[in-house]
Chain A
């Protein structure tokens, strides 16, 4: 079938193009320019070529931040996705309690990032916080300001608390869209609970779960505020993830060249993962 195409509609997206150009493309170009130069301020720059890139690629500090970032993102995905699906499966399908569950689930998502960080900071303080004091009272040595393991535990628990709801809501929406006839057919065939999940619910949730993984990956890969408010990247630099390290280099040390090179490498990593997810999702849909 030959579709009639009206290309005038493209003019409608011109304002968006202009906004994106001003708030994304121009700053990105500036970052590229900074990444090959050195400056001592006063808008005086010295060309350095690929020096900052070589430095960043060889720097232990960058490798450390990257590894911590990958560990953080991998861990929260491994917890939040299965947990979110499990909660969505356990939620009532309709009625009063379904609404109550949805509202309760949406609550953590409404709280601003810095408030979440501050809340958890107080909650986890070993001398006055409910969590910190409680754990110590139980005889578990816990102090997120001093022990790396405690700090990691708190950062991950905080992210799981804040963002599992997003996975729950997406998975719940996916489950709601499944036609009742599928369940009836499964009942007639005498399918087990696991078989219903494996062959009906999971395939139907595939798309929303891909979106959930993509959103959680991107958000956690760029996470800054919550761990910054909670631990400030410490103790030492044990919870310093990429964005915290980047801000330290750019705004703490005014190392604009190194920070720009780091930004570009960071950007390339996100771009690659987004492209992979996008391609897999789109090609999966076409099939």
Chain B
């Protein structure tokens, strides 16, 4: 049995606590993700999957329950410690790419390493390697507005990998792309999974995309309604 990267026990998230319009989004989710898994979390809009993603990504703390990420209890950390976790343990890939505008591809990829306090030389060397890995090496001087959607997402994946995080957390990474470029992006995720053994959590509303992954966790109304467990879907 490989190492448990994410270990969630009975996670509950409420908003407007103590007010008349108090809202419970997550109703006690328990989820374990092991090292090297490629998991998809599937759910319709409003199912609570975005809230769950924010908690997994250490952007938010659960109201109740415990969340261990690589053995660290995330639910008790302060803002500063959460920043450090996001910086070193999580690699975000967003639907809308979220590259920093007016900042070239290389600088964007360097950014997480900048916040980690790495030296300039170390940053640019690693950033160039990662850009090469996603096939964007030749365009390292390009600014986001000079890149296509697929290219932007590849730069974003390189950026997510910058500090070699424990998990890649991808939120609808192909949602803003056409089928062809979306395919290309998914291929990169599969490559990172197969070749580097990266743990990847893919959040999507699309069952077809989820089918590509080893394990599908389906969420509805803030609860896990099905979990396929690790399977070999034979596609890759």
**Does A associate with B in a complex?**
no
Which residue numbers of A lie inside 8 Å of B, CB to CB?
Answer: none
Which residue numbers of B lie inside 8 Å of A, CB to CB?
Answer: none
